[in-house]
Each structure stands twice: as structure tokens, then as C-alpha cells.
Amino acid sequence: ALAVQAPCIELNDGNKIPSLALGTGRGTAKESDSLDDVRKAVLWAIEAGYRHIDTAAVYGDEEQVGQGIADAIAKGIVTRDQVFVTTKLWNDKHARDKVVPALRESLSRLGLDYIDLFLIHFPVATKDDGSYENIDYLETWNGMEEARYLGLARSIGVSNFNASQIDRIVANSPVRPAVNEIEVNPTLTQEPLVYHCLSLGIAVMSYSPFGFLVSRDRPDAPPPRYDDPTLAALAAKYGKTPGQIVLRYLIERGLIPIPKSTNQKRIAENINVFDFQLTREEIASISRFNANTRVIDISHWKDHPYYPHQS
Ligand code: NDP
């Protein structure tokens, strides 16, 4: 198969971000899967044309992500500056003086000397035993600014922040987040938060892009599932799969989807979404699935002062 390139979006700091990323989170990994699958997936993705990889300290796979990138560089497919790498700060490193050392540790695991995008993974700070810590994310943001000032992170942003948390950073800091990475898929369309971020010039990365199209062990979850008739009709019309229809839907909403796969065929399939266009009505028909139902449940943090969700 020919390699497909995702066009880039310009961030509010002038850097360019490829509009689709490979996800490397381990949330859907099966017990039989090994971390080495991540290394292979990253190499396959770069071979298929991906130029953006999403990881996080908490995934425990930064080393394998770095190996996959190194494999691709060794094969002469890309140079370091042609790959955009995103990683994230975990909740137990929110103290200002822990941010830069945590990034240095991520970089050392990745085998990189800078990261393209560094995100605060959640607004919620915890101690290393998981209990709550009352650290203001504005303090954490100061640490992120330092990481950028030192050149260790080219762009900085947040993940899982709500609109008022975004506003509070914008009001209190000279550096705006370049990105907010949040869950967006057909059952959680997030129109208000997406509009809020894009209006402020903050790009939105959409995680768990397939929502409940794929099994999440939640038989009660709302539609659409992979075999949904609305998606099947669009797939037939465009000669694409239901998964590709959903990724295209997100891209046309101006989002940067992060499909995760460790399967070579599906990795190539997921980036092959730049040769067709949905109509406005088709986009609206997918948005109508919205049920405000999340794949990623963090309600165990609901009593934290910075819990981002309504319920
Ligand atoms: P996705 O929505 O990407 O779904 C992944 C699942 O879909 C896997 O089971 C995968 O299986 C399957 N799949 C992939 N491609 C296809 C396809 N074309 N057809 C059918 N099935 C397919 O889920 P995630 O929840 O992993 O989210 C994606 C990424 O977003 C994460 O990996 C992570 O990088 C990021 N993320 C960030 C969070 C945050 O808090 N910032 C939270 C959650 C995720 P297989 O691998 O076998 O193909």
C-alpha cells in the first residue's frame, strides 16, 4: 500500500501538527499483547505515512515508542524532525519543580532530546499513591512553560480540561495551551467544548475516536456500533469502512483523531481517510448519535477540586 500523509494544522505557537496520530494507549490491549507490539505498530505506522505518535508516561510504553521511531529512522523512512511526538505529564508530577524532571525522564525513555508536544494529562493532581493532592494546575502550567522555554518541549498543552479550566489558564498565563486532548467520538460529540477551544485558537485532539464502535465490554453502551446502518450506508457510498467514516467525520470537524491500533492492516486503513469528503448533512447525521456517554470514566476522581466533568 502507498503511504498516505495527513495534512498539517498550524498551532497557535506557529508549530505544525499532523492532523491524525497513532494512539499507543494500552486501554484496549489484550492480555496476550506485549509491549513490543507498540514498537512494531509505531514502525508500521511511519511506513504507512503517519507522522504523529501519541504516548504518555502513564502508558508505560515510551521506550517502545522510541524504539519504533528509531527503527524507522534507521530504515531511512524519516528523520527525527519529520515525526511529531506527543507525550503527557502524569498526575503525580504536578508540582512545579517536578514537571521538567518528569519530561526529562520521558525523553530519556523515548531516546529523544526534545518532544514536539507535552500535555498535562489531567487537571487532577494526585500523590504517587493515587490519593488527592491539591496542586493548582496553574502551578503545573508554569512548569510546562519552563519546559518550553528550555526547548525540551516545542509546544505545550493540556488534556481532559473543561472550558472554564481552559479559560483560567488563558486569563492567568502568557502562554496559551496549543492543544486540548479530549474524548470525542459519535457518542460524545463535545460540540460546546470543541467550539470553545477552536475559538481560542486551541487545537483539539480527539482520543478514543472509535467510541463504542469497538468493544469496550459495555454491552449497554449507546450506538453506533461497528455495524450501525447509518455508518454502513456511508461506508458503502464512499467505498470506506465504518471506522474510516468516523475518523473522516472527526477530521472534517477540525479535530485531530488518535486511532490506536497494533494491527498492520488496520494501522494503514486508519490513515487512508484523506481522499473523500462527507457532506454537511452526513456530518450532522453522525453528530446526532451524541449521548454524552464517555468511554473513559474518571468518576473515581469526582470529589477532586479540579475534576473536569459535569458528573
Ligand atoms: P480507539 O478509539 O483508538 O480504539 C482502539 C480499538 O479499536 C482497539 O481495540 C483496536 O484494535 C480497534 N481498532 C483500531 N482500528 C480499527 C479499525 N480500523 N477497525 C476496527 N477496529 C479497529 O481507542 P483508545 O481508547 O485507545 O484511544 C486512542 C488513543 O487515544 C489512545 O491509544 C491514546 O493514545 C489516546 N487516549 C488519550 C487519553 C487521554 O486521557 N488523553 C485517554 C484515552 C486514550 P487493534 O489494535 O487490534 O486494531
pLDDT value of residue 121: 98
**Backbone angles phi and psi of 168, in degrees to 5:** -65, -40
Q: What is the 3-state secondary structure (H, E, C) of 66-116?
A: HHHHHHHHHCCCCCHHHCEEEEEECHHHCCHHHHHHHHHHHHHHHCCCCEE
User: 187 C-alpha vs ligand 1 centroid, how far in Å?
Assistant: 15
CA of 20 to the centre of ligand 1 (A): 13
Closest CA to 186 of 249, 277, 265, 109: 249
CA of 74 to the centre of ligand 1 (A): 27
Q: What is the pLDDT of residue 1?
A: 58
Give the pLDDT of residue 248. 98
Give a yes or no: residue 217 inside a domain. no
- Annotated catalytic residue within 59, 137, 207, 306: 59
| CB contact at 8 A, 203 and 9 | yes
Coil/strand/helix, residue 130: coil
User: Does a structural domain hold residue 280?
Assistant: no
Which CATH number goes with the domain that contains 95? 3.20.20.100
Ligand 1 pocket residue status of 160, Cβ below 6 Å: yes
207 pocket-lining for ligand 1 (C-beta < 6 Å): yes
- As for how many domains the chain has, the answer is 1
What is the pLDDT at residue 311?
64
Radius of gyration of the chain (CA): 19
Region at 189 (left for phi over 0; alpha for psi -120 to 50; beta for the rest): alpha
Q: What nine digits make up the cell of 277?
A: 469528503
**Residue 139: how many CB atoms within 10 A of its CB?**
14
Question: For residue 206, is it within any domain?
Answer: yes
Q: Is residue 108 part of a domain?
A: yes
Domain that holds residue 137: 8-211+253-262
- Which ligand 1 atom minimizes the distance to the CA of 270? 18
ipTM above 0.85, yes or no: yes
Q: How far is the CA of 28 from the centre of ligand 1 (A)?
A: 7
φ/ψ of residue 125, rounded to 5: -95, 140
Residue 275 Ramachandran class (φ > 0 left, ψ -120 to 50 alpha, else beta)? alpha
92, part of any domain:
yes
| Pairwise CA distance, residues 50 & 271, whole Å | 7
- Give yes or no: 59 in active site: yes
DSSP symbol at 260 = B
Confirm or reject: Cβ of 86 under 6 Å from ligand 1. Answer: no
308 domain-assigned = no
53 within some domain: yes
Cα 253 to Cα 58, 175, 196, 296, 309, distances in angstroms: 29, 25, 13, 21, 22
245 assigned to some structural domain: no
**Digits of tens for pLDDT over the chain (311 positions)?**
578 999 999 999 999 999 999 999 999 998 889 999 999 999 999 999 999 999 999 999 999 999 999 999 999 999 999 999 999 999 999 999 999 999 999 999 999 999 999 999 999 999 999 899 999 999 999 999 999 999 999 999 999 999 999 999 999 999 999 999 999 999 999 999 999 999 999 999 999 999 999 989 999 999 999 999 999 999 999 999 999 999 999 999 999 999 999 999 999 999 999 999 999 999 999 999 999 999 999 999 999 999 999 86
Q: What's the N-to-C CA distance of the chain in angstroms?
A: 44
d(CA 120, CA 150) in angstroms, rounded, equals 17
